[in-house]
Amino acid sequence: MGRCHCHLWVRVFLQIQQSKKSKFHNKRKSLKKMEFLRVQTVASNSKDVAIPDMFVRPETEQPGITTVHGVKLEVPIIDFNNPDEGKVLNEIMEASKKWGMFQIVNHEIPSHVIKKLQSVGKEFFELPQEEKELYAKDPESKSIEGYGTKLQKELNGKKGWVDHLFHIIWPLSSINYRFWPKNPPSYREANEEYLKYLHGVVDKLFKSMSIGLGFEENELKEAAGGDSMIHLLKINYYPPCPFPDLVVGVPPHTDMSYITILVPNDVQGLQAFRDGHWYDVKYVPNALVIHIGDQMEIMSNGKYKAVFHRTTVSKEETRISWPVFIEPQPEYEVGPHPKLVNEENPPKYKTKKYKDYAYCKLNKIPQ
Catalytic residues: 234, 253, 255, 309
Which among 265, 242, 251 has a CA at the least distance from the CA of 320? 265
**Whether the Cβ atoms of residue 268 and residue 249 lie closer than 8 Å to each other:** no
| Cα 185 → chain centroid | 24
DSSP-derived letter for residue 139 is T
**Whether the Cβ atoms of residue 89 and residue 64 lie closer than 8 Å to each other:** no
**Whether the Cβ atoms of residue 165 and residue 187 lie closer than 8 Å to each other:** no
* Helix and strand totals (H; E) in the chain: 10, 14
**Whether the Cβ atoms of residue 270 and residue 311 lie closer than 8 Å to each other:** yes
Note the helical H segments in 53-186. 63-66, 85-98, 111-125, 129-132
CB atoms within 10 A of CB 88: 18
Long-range own/partner contacts, residues 121-127 (CB < 8 A, 24 or more apart): 121/165, 121/235, 121/320, 121/322, 122/265, 122/320, 123/183, 123/184, 123/187, 124/165, 124/181, 124/183, 124/184, 124/187, 124/235, 125/40, 125/163, 125/165, 125/235, 125/237, 125/320, 127/181, 127/183
